[in-house]
């Protein structure tokens, strides 16, 4: 079958990276060039044909990754850069300035995010077994962004974004009869709807990898938020918004996809490199 007009098989003039699985493609490698996105992909990309066959005993072991690893490294990089800048500008007083001042909020945010991912990821790792396989901190091909956690379970794949925000998550619905209905994710008084958009993009990526035969669910898991004693969890645009203790039983539930857990985990671990 001929390739679509948008695609062209060619020998690469320059080295590139597969937009689906993130594999390095050296110069002069045969690959598919996509004109609309100006990206390339492998000729036989493991992420383009759905789930790979069930993993055999000889299959390469997938490293689950380090929860919060990339966020922790970014925090340490920013912290070290600030310290170097202050000590260079103030050779004699640099140590005192650092001792009496805090990191800027933009740097602290990376520490906060890393802690949330580390705590949730540690518990997911503790719960993992043959029927609950996890991956942490996976790079989204072609970007600097990452997927915090992936859980492959008998009920499908869960794309989990961990957030350590203060305030109460809740849904704000606007519009209705006379104007379009819109849903906003609020945390306290702040509009955090962009978090939902981010998870939906991650879900789309994972669906391209595993195919249509396995359900993929997006989850925003708020750690240390001000959740009410009763109720509190909700769903917006097919993304579940909840807290860790509400999440764990869902991941442990029985379902119809137990037979493909190993192959789905293998496919995701192969297609999505550690961040």
Query: What pTM was estimated for this model as a whole?
Result: 0.75
pLDDT tens-place string over residues 13-45: 767 777 776 677 787 888 888 776 667 788 776
DSSP letter assigned to residue 233: -
Condensed to tens digits (0 to 9), the pLDDT of residues 217-273 reads: 999 999 989 999 888 999 999 999 999 999 999 999 999 999 999 999 999 999 999
105-127 vs 69-89: helix axis angle to the nearest 10? 150
Q: How far apart are CA 159 and CA 167, in angstroms?
A: 23
Q: Is the pLDDT of residue 88 over 80?
A: yes
CB contact at 8 A, 51 and 214: yes
User: What would be the CATH architecture of the domain defined by 119-271?
Assistant: 3-Layer(aba) Sandwich (3.40)
Tokens of 255: 């379902």
Domain boundaries, the chain: 1-45, 119-271
Supply the DSSP string of 14-28, one letter for each residue.
S-EEBTTT--EE-TT
């Amino acid at each position: 079958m001929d390739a679509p007009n948008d695609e062209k098989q060619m020998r690469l003039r320059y080295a590139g990276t597969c937009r689906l699985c993130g594999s390095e493609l050296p110069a002069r490698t045969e690959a598919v060039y996509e004109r609309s996105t100006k990206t390339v992909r492998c000729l036989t990309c493991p992420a383009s044909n759905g789930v790979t066959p069930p993993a055999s005993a000889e299959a390469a072991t997938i490293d689950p990754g380090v929860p919060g690893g990339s966020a922790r490294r970014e925090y340490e990089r920013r912290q070290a850069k600030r310290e170097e800048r202050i000590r260079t500008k103030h050779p004699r007083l640099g140590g005192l300035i650092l001792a009496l001042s805090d990191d800027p909020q933009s740097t602290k945010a990376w520490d906060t995010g890393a802690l949330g991912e580390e705590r949730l990821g540690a518990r997911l790792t503790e719960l993992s077994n043959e029927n609950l396989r996890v991956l942490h901190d996976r790079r989204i091909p072609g970007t600097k962004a990452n997927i915090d956690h992936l859980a492959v379970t008998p009920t499908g794949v869960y794309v989990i974004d961990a957030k350590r925000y203060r305030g109460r998550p809740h849904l704000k619905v606007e519009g209705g009869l006379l104007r379009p209905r819109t849903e906003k994710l609020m945390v306290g008084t702040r509009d955090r709807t962009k978090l939902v958009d981010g998870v939906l993009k991650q879900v789309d990526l994972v669906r391209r990898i595993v195919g249509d035969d396995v359900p993929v669910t997006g989850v925003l898991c708020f750690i240390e938020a001000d959740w009410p004693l009763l109720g509190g969890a909700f769903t917006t645009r097919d993304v579940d918004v909840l807290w860790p203790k509400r999440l764990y039983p869902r991941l442990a539930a029985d379902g119809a996809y137990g037979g493909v857990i190993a192959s789905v985990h293998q496919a995701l671990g192969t297609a999505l490199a550690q961040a």
